[in-house]
Chains A and B, each alone.
Chain A
Amino acid sequence: MHELNDVARKALIQLLLAVADDKLMLGHRNADWTGLAPILEEDIAFSSLAQDELAHASALYQFVADLTHSQADRLAFGRKPGEYRCAQIVELSDDFNWATALCRSFFCDHFEALRLERLARSSYTPIAQLAARLLAEEQVHVQHVDSWMHRLGRGDDDANHRMQEALDGLAPLAPMLFEPTESQELLEREMIYPQSEPAMFDRWSQNLLEVARDAGLTLSLQRPTAKIIGGRRGVHGPAFPAALDEMTEVYRVEPEAAW
């Protein structure tokens, strides 16, 4: 399928903004670790991961910009807070707690890989092709974070304790990643965003539980309630305005500047 009707186009834009906004915020947060990660290899890794996320976000903003005759930079940095579609878990600062940064990536990267897998099977070929490529890169993130869950979860008592604490702190927020964007059910019906089998939440929680168990950590995840009005509908957490402010500081100086 190469043509979208107006309703489907609008719904797809909302979904892709959610993907891009999650990635933009996560990339922004991960970039905080450049120069500060606990070991040199992770400094390089987190910087590369952040660069991946920002590059993915940029490709998705460009995709949306082409659908809306807008500009990628304006979509990334020039919207009002209520027009962003990211989930609360990516908005939070990790307060330079390495365990929190890893656990946040753990929830988000597994979610992202499954979301991209669904998009990679889209009936709308242009997004399927981009998503397949993004998915290939995202799988590297999943492997990376899983290996750290093992390494620290099975580390000494202090490491295990810190990981468990971070996991417990984020677990209540994580299922909100699944809040549907506007008219998402239409995209699912038309196979533009096909459902996975088994359902995405079940696959996600199963994957996470398996890794956590192997890592000697406990995790319990609540299935998201039907009606959450949160980040996917533009209602953000208390950390968001400051994060957005910081992220858009340079852009706001000269919005039309070419980079």
Chain B
Amino acid sequence: MVSQETVLEALRTVNDPEMPINIVDLGIVDAVRIEPGADASGSRVVVEILPTFVGCPALPWIENDVRKRLGAMPGVTEIDVHFRFDPPWTVDRISPAGRESLREFGVTVPQRRDHCEPETQTPQCPFCGSSQVHLESSFGPTRCRMIYYCESCRNPFEHLKRIPVPVLFD
């Protein structure tokens, strides 16, 4: 029997191709819908995904993995993967488990915060926990990451970017 839970469970085995975090913990799976398939014997699964960055090159890989994984589920006959930007993805959508697996990998995530709070927290070094860190470059190996340097253990590490969602006045 195909259900939201079993689909989400399957999606938890789909990883971001560039970081050890699954797409559910990354918070990019915004909705899963189960609908009757064209032929009555199976189900159509619709997965709505929020890209972290516009045109992120990982998206085709993710879509492909999602299709492969869900296609292997008994009872699934059709799969629709949609990408949309509303609501926008933010780093606050990353689950606590996801944050932990990124930290172990050496990538820190900005602290969760309310929309209006200014960004004041500097990250703690994922290797030694020190707060003696400085921003080395606002750009990094991928468009969603920047580079910090830890002055205590002298390691560079990566920090996910918080892209402020613009507040539009009317």
User: A181: which B residues are within 8 A, CB to CB?
Assistant: none
Contact with B along A43-80 (1 / 0, CB 8 A): 01101110110111011000000000000000000000
A139 at the interface (CB under 8 A from B): yes
Q: Are A59 and B54 within 8 A (Cβ)?
A: yes
With A130-B85, A132-B85, A132-B165 known as contacts, the answer to whether A137 contacts B53 (CB < 8 A) is: yes
Which secondary structure dominates chain B's binding surface?
A: loop
| Set A45, A58, A117: member contacting B137, Cβ < 8 A | A45
B140 at the interface (CB under 8 A from A): yes
Q: Return the chain A residue nearest B90 by Cβ.
A: A136
Q: Are B164 and A48 within 8 A (Cβ)?
A: no
Contact with B along A205-247 (1 / 0, CB 8 A): 0000000000000000000000000000000000000000000
B127 at the interface (CB under 8 A from A): no
Q: Return the chain B residue nearest A54 by Cβ.
A: B55
**What's the least CB distance linking B28 to chain A, in Å?**
13
**What's the least CB distance linking B15 to chain A, in Å?**
21
| Set A48, A137, A139, A140: member contacting B54, Cβ < 8 A | A137
Q: Are B170 and A41 within 8 A (Cβ)?
A: no
**What's the least CB distance linking B92 to chain A, in Å?**
14
Q: Are B166 and A41 within 8 A (Cβ)?
A: no
Q: Are A56 and B139 within 8 A (Cβ)?
A: no
Q: Return the chain B residue nearest A45 by Cβ.
A: B139
Q: Are A129 and B85 within 8 A (Cβ)?
A: yes
| Set A48, A55, A130, A134: member contacting B56, Cβ < 8 A | A55
Q: Are A132 and B163 within 8 A (Cβ)?
A: no
B131 at the interface (CB under 8 A from A): no
What separation, in Å, do the CA atoms of A137 and B168 have in the docked complex? 15
Q: Are A129 and B86 within 8 A (Cβ)?
A: yes
User: A130: which B residues are within 8 A, CB to CB?
Assistant: 54, 85
| Set B57, B86, B139, B163: member contacting A48, Cβ < 8 A | B139
**What's the least CB distance linking B20 to chain A, in Å?**
22
What separation, in Å, do the CA atoms of A44 and B57 have in the docked complex? 17
What separation, in Å, do the CA atoms of A137 and B137 have in the docked complex? 16
Question: How many residues of chain B have a CB within 8 Å of chain A?
Answer: 24
**What's the least CB distance linking B168 to chain A, in Å?**
6
Q: Are B165 and A136 within 8 A (Cβ)?
A: yes
B84 at the interface (CB under 8 A from A): yes
**What's the least CB distance linking A198 to chain B, in Å?**
13
**What's the least CB distance linking B117 to chain A, in Å?**
17
A120 at the interface (CB under 8 A from B): yes
User: A135: which B residues are within 8 A, CB to CB?
Assistant: 166
Q: Are B55 and A136 within 8 A (Cβ)?
A: no
**What's the least CB distance linking A193 to chain B, in Å?**
14
Contact with A along B149-170 (1 / 0, CB 8 A): 0000000000001011110101
B136 at the interface (CB under 8 A from A): yes
With A120-B166, A139-B164 known as contacts, the answer to whether A132 contacts B88 (CB < 8 A) is: yes
User: A51: which B residues are within 8 A, CB to CB?
Assistant: 143
User: B138: which A residues are within 8 A, CB to CB?
Assistant: 45, 140, 144
Pairs A-B, 7 closest by C-beta atoms: A55-B55, A133-B85, A48-B139, A41-B137, A45-B139, A129-B86, A44-B139
Mind listing 19 A-B residue pairs with CB under 8 Å?
A: A41-B137, A44-B139, A44-B140, A44-B147, A45-B137, A48-B139, A48-B143, A55-B54, A56-B55, A129-B84, A129-B86, A130-B54, A132-B85, A132-B86, A135-B166, A136-B163, A136-B164, A136-B166, A139-B164
With A44-B141, A55-B143 given, can you name 13 additional A-B contacts, CB distance below 8 Å?
A: A41-B137, A45-B138, A47-B139, A52-B54, A55-B53, A55-B54, A55-B56, A55-B57, A117-B168, A129-B86, A133-B54, A133-B88, A136-B166
| Residues of B participating in the A interface, judged by any CB pair closer than 8 Å | 53-57, 84-86, 88, 136-141, 143, 147, 161, 163-166, 168, 170
